[in-house]
Amino acid sequence: MAALKRAVLLLLLSLYTAFAAGPFVWAAMLSLRTTTEIHRNHFAPPNPAHWDKFAEAWFTSNYGVYFTNSTQVVVSAVLLLTLVGSMAAHCLARYRFRFNRVIYFVLFSTIIFPPQITIISLFQILVQYGLYNSKLGLTLVYVAIQLPLTIYILESFFARIPSDLFDAARIDGYSDWEIFWRVSLPIALPAVATTVILNFILLWNEFLYAVVLITEEANRTLPLGIQRFIGDTQEDVGMIATGLMIAIIPVVVVYAFFSERLIQGMTAGAVK
Amino acid sequence: MAVVTLEKLTKFYDRGPLPAADAVSLEVQHGEFMVLLGPSGCGKTTTLRMIAGLESISSGTLSIDGRVVNHVPAKDRDIAMVFQSYALYPHMSVADNLAFGLRRRSIDRAEIGRRVAAVADTLGLTGLLQRKPHALSGGQRQRVALGRAIVRDPKVFLFDEPLSNLDASLRVSTRGEISKLHRRLGATMIYVTHDQVEAMTLGQRICIMNGGRVVQVGPPLEVYKRPLNTFVASFLGNPPMNLLPARVAEGKGRLSVKLGGELLELKQRQYSALPAGAAITLGIRPESIAAHASAGARERLAGVEAEIVQIESLGAETILAARIPGIESELVARVGPEVGASVGERRSLWLDLSAIHLFDATGALITADVGASPA
Amino acid sequence: MPVGHDQSLHQDGLRKPWATIGVFLLPSLTIYAAFTAYPAMRTIWNSFHRVLPRSDEPVGLANYAELLRDDIFWRSVRNTITWACTSPLIEVSVALLLALALYARVPGARFFRVAWFTPVLMSYVVVGILWLWIYNFDWGPVNVALRAVGLASWAKPWLGDPKTALPALIFVTSWMWVGFNMVVLLAALHSLPREVLEAAELDNCGWGGKLVFVILPLIRATLLNLIVLSFIGKMKIFDLVWITTKGNPLWATETVSTYVYKRAFEWTTFDLGYPSTIAALWFVIVLAAVLALTWLFRLRQKLEY
């Protein structure tokens, strides 16, 4: 009886897994088939698998450009975020001064802000400073939007480091900056890794700010690039699917290696 | 009140090839207070949880009052348990914590009210009934956990190291409360602990476990005075029993034992089974060693020359550590406060021959021949 | 105050190292000020002006007055709030069921957990395109399956029918976020004190009893947290709608964020003042809603804990 219940449960859970992962599996299959093949039968497995479509998407459909742009913007933003965010988090966690909690609260509360409250003016500001339609402008905006979450995660971690370590470093004559660089950061490496992975994924997938602040083809990030192809009357499903795969694969790779860390990072604030 | 019978209870976990509990057999009598004692990992908690029904039994039989309960769910075994962490429902008040199990058993509301009030009164919880667990001190939570078990009026009480989370002074007073409780209710109680003081003071019988197996069962003083092996011998008693390597020597009719450079004649007992030259372990408790011996007492005592290496004066007594030449481990003695010794001094220490235990190479007790002249 | 604060790097007697603090905080605060604080304030300023390509005209509260009469705006508000209220309920309850299933120690729990979390990792763009295809009238799996089991009359252009478009999108976000909520709830379940559950077992609680009397009360805080998170997320939603329906058909899926974008960048007249008004008002509404929600939950929490 117990075995039967267990079997039914497993069946239901497997069905749900198909439901959750199915679309991606389908996309993967579609990415390896030509559009003609697809329209003949939308659900057949790739036969043969057209690996050259990836090259075609990369060069002819410009996905290579989008991928490169995304990489440049996201990597720069993440690096900057990590440096700037950890500095702020270290300071807020370990120094006691009057406006500490106020600053922390101000930075943290922006998580609730709907993007619309800043995006229109950001558009104006970037145009004004000649940063509109530029990767640099987008990078800076990306740093700004992920700063609250980064500081939140890192601050709580820094605060938990036993102060004995800092006292010992101080006695050993380390300066404030050295303490940050040689004590705080190395110890907080797990949390820093988490924010790096988290920021990478969130910014890699970011769409709204990109669509407002980038218009030129040469500067488009991946999400923008993909979006460009849909809605055409002659929708090239096969090519779009290949493009989707190009966008998904880095995320899947990161997830495959860091699933635990990523899951924990993304769910960090929610468990009480 | 019930008889709990364990027959070769064994528990295997998927993780390892060795059983956590190995053929544990024990019979707990009506109204008996049985203590399961042993170091961590010895299987005592596993055994208790099998009795409770919180762990499945891999093999063996568990019976309560003659009825086999291996497959009876925990809630139907008429058992109450006091957990190490108290396990109070954090979101319920003390009153609800006490009443919850009764409500779940569809007991009449008035009856529940009566029982809760009575138990709260006994344990001094009446003023705390509306508080939540987080607003209670450790000792108060402990009492609520006790109360929750009492209010159920079960056949068997199970305790899983209930005092280990309390500070020292609370532990002593709560120990007394549990003792009083047992005398009052007369219920069958099975109590798990690693603390030998708790075992000695609370138990009517102690079951010592090690490595998943039962090593010895018996009343506290009997287990203390007659340990069946070196494990039990060193587990009970503080400071622990001295276990010194020795060798059987050719004797003049009676057994002699070579202890380091000294030759001890065991005048009180015969050990005919021991061959000469056999390596044995000599055990003697610190309180059975004296620093002085009057001439008359020397009949019962054997003297050994030793060099004092440490003296700890505790006020009411003194703990001496001494080194017998030829033996690496120190001899620890418990003597009176006015011993007048100094570190580095070479003097004689007197071992009470009637309190000497001999253990063979495997650590098992070597029994003396029956009929030998008593001490 | 965080844990480290009582033993900060500098004792109270010494002078505070303002220079050091400044250095550490300056980059973050500068970026914050330049790209978050200032823009927010400027948007609010915009809302009181008509913002044209080369000039700004102050119009006082005219934009707000117009907003109150704007049917499309109120339609979008209705859509967004519907979304923000129904999504959390679906997402959290389904997630709870799945988490309980995994909590019961089903084999392969680790695999399921990883698999179910994947939708959350994907860009809304990817998700949007996939579901455009899934909902496709001619060859999308949904309609194909319906026709295959003889329910051809139920096959629809899900995203093209004003009555089904919004529910269809709500379904998509649920599909995405159930996995996330499930992972959080599973962690919360695993953190429940084992001995309390065992005590409940000894107190004659079966699975149902344990669920109602112990598990649910103890994970309440997490449940509420997830509901609030989901609510906030749906109040902000843009990407998915933009990729799939762009607010069509007939404003059935128009959300406040898509409407702002349209008024700002795709309207016949170029005026950034009016969309700023929408943004400012929406900002206030979201803040108020979040405060109300958390205050409401915290109040109930105080009463029970």
pLDDT tens digits in sequence order for chain B, 375 residues long: 689 999 999 998 877 788 889 999 999 999 999 999 999 989 999 999 999 999 999 999 999 998 999 999 988 899 999 999 899 999 999 999 999 989 888 888 999 999 999 999 988 899 999 999 999 998 899 999 999 999 988 999 999 999 988 888 889 988 998 999 999 999 999 999 999 999 999 999 999 999 999 999 999 999 999 999 999 999 998 899 999 888 887 655 567 777 777 777 776 677 767 777 788 888 999 999 988 888 777 778 888 888 999 999 998 999 999 998 888 888 999 998 887 888 888 888 888 888 888 888 888 888 776 554 444
Q: Does any domain span residue A10?
A: no
- Tell me how many domains chain A contains: 1
Mean pLDDT, range C8-23, rounded to an integer: 67
ipTM field: 0.85
Please check whether residue B114 touches C, CB under 8 A: no
Does the distance separating the beta carbons of A19 and C133 come in below 8 Å? no
Helices (H) and strands (E) in chain C, counts: 14, 2
Confidence of residue C241 (pLDDT cuts 50, 70, 90): very high
Q: What is the DSSP-derived secondary structure letter of residue A181?
A: I
Residue C275 CA to residue C261 CA, distance in Å, equals 8
**What pLDDT score does C301 carry?**
56
Query: Which are the contacts of B60, defined by CB distance < 8 A and separation ≥ 6?
Result: B6, B7, B8, B9, B10, B23, B24, B25
**What pLDDT score does C6 carry?**
44
Mean pLDDT of chain C: 86
Question: What is the CATH classification number for the domain harbouring A203?
Answer: 1.10.3720.10
**What pLDDT score does A238 carry?**
84
Q: Which residue of C has its CA nearest to B91?
A: C305
**What pLDDT score does A132 carry?**
87
**What pLDDT score does B69 carry?**
92
**What pLDDT score does C9 carry?**
52
Angle between helices C256-265 and C273-304 (to 10 degrees): 160
**What pLDDT score does B373 carry?**
46
Q: Which element (helix H / strand E) includes C147?
A: helix C141-148
pTM, rounded to two decimals: 0.82
Give all domains of chain B, ordered by start, each with its CATH number: 4-234 (3.40.50.300), 241-359 (2.40.50.140)
Give all domains of chain C, ordered by start, each with its CATH number: 14-38 (no CATH), 64-304 (1.10.3720.10)
Who among C199, C204, C209 is closest to B87 (CB)? C199
Q: Does any domain span residue A129?
A: yes
Q: Does any domain span residue A177?
A: yes
**What pLDDT score does A270 carry?**
66
Confidence of residue C141 (pLDDT cuts 50, 70, 90): confident
**What pLDDT score does C14 carry?**
54
Residue C129 CA to residue C300 CA, distance in Å, equals 41
Q: Which residues of C touch A137 (CB under 8 A)?
A: none
**What pLDDT score does C12 carry?**
46
Beta bridge partners of B244: B282
- Name which of C191, C202, C222, C223 to mutate to probe chain B: the one with the most chain B Cβ atoms within 10 A of its Cβ: C202
Amino acid at C74: W
Q: Which residues of B touch C209 (CB under 8 A)?
A: 104
- Name which of C105, C192, C203, C211 to mutate to probe chain B: the one with the most chain B Cβ atoms within 10 A of its Cβ: C203
Q: Which residues of C touch B54 (CB under 8 A)?
A: 198, 201-202
Who among A96, A112, A255 is closest to C290 (CB)? A112
Taking chain A (272 residues) in consecutive chunks of 10 residues, what is each chunk's mean pLDDT?
A: 80 88 88 83 81 84 88 94 93 86 87 88 89 90 93 88 87 88 87 89 91 88 84 73 88 84 75 56
| Neighbour-count burial of C68, counting CB atoms closer than 10 A to its CB (0-12 exposed, 13-18 middle, 19+ buried) | exposed
Q: Which residue of A has its CA nearest to C99?
A: A13
Backbone φ and ψ of A49, nearest 5°:
-85, 120
**What pLDDT score does A191 carry?**
87
Which structural domain, as residue segments, surrounds residue A75? 62-266
Residue B56 CA to residue B10 CA, distance in Å, equals 10
**What pLDDT score does B217 carry?**
95
Chains linked to A by 3 or more Cβ pairs within 8 Å: C
Q: Does any domain span residue A36?
A: no
pLDDT of C92 above 90: yes
Q: For B32-89, what is the HEC assignment?
A: CEEEEECCCCCCHHHHHHHHHCCCCCCEEEEEECCEECCCCCHHHCCEEEECCCCCCC
**What pLDDT score does B372 carry?**
46
Who among C126, C222, C287 is closest to A244 (CB)? C126
Residue B222 CA to residue B201 CA, distance in Å, equals 13
**What pLDDT score does C305 carry?**
37
Q: What whole-number percentage of chain C has pLDDT above 90?
A: 35
Cis link prior to C193 (omega < 30° from 0)?
no
Q: Does any domain span residue A69?
A: yes
B262-265 and B256-259 strand pairing: antiparallel
**What pLDDT score does A59 carry?**
85
Residue B158 near residue B51, CB atoms below 8 Å: yes
Mean pLDDT, range C268-294, rounded to an integer: 89
Does the distance separating the beta carbons of B80 and C205 come in below 8 Å? no
Please check whether residue B93 touches C, CB under 8 A: no
pLDDT of C3 above 70: no
Residue B250 CA to residue A93 CA, distance in Å, equals 75
Residue C118: CB atoms within 10 Å: 20
